[in-house]
Amino acid sequence: MYEIWLALNIVWEMALLVWPWLLALAVLGAALWLTALARGGARWRAGLSGALGVGVLAAAAAVATLPLWSRSSWSELAYWVDWANLAAIAAGAAGVAAALAWPLLAMGSGKNRRSA
């Protein structure tokens, strides 16, 4: 249980280092979603597969770069909690990337449909 608590503290400390960026990301996400919902004509189902693809790419990038970004290394990932923490952070990055990409792709799909 201590290891899980330590992992959560690491995530918290990483978030504290970049909290202004996280706040800006939340504002950007809210603006994208509100814009897409207000405009109408967005094809949400058509944009979903692209957004999931963006999420997978973001997860792969997070897995590749997070140990270096946190001033660690791949050799330090020796315990299952380390791998679980890395996977959880990568999944969070994937979710955020997909959530930002989905309204953009849905609005883009709606424009293509109207012009055809």
Reported as a pLDDT band with limits 50, 70 and 90, residue 39 is confident
Helix axes 44-69, 80-115, angle to 10 degrees: 150
Structural contact between residues 96 and 58, judged by C-beta atoms closer than 8 angstroms = yes
14-32 pLDDT, tens digit each? 889 889 999 999 999 999 9
48-72 pLDDT, tens digit each? 999 999 999 999 999 998 888 777 7
Tokens 């449909």 sit on residue: 113
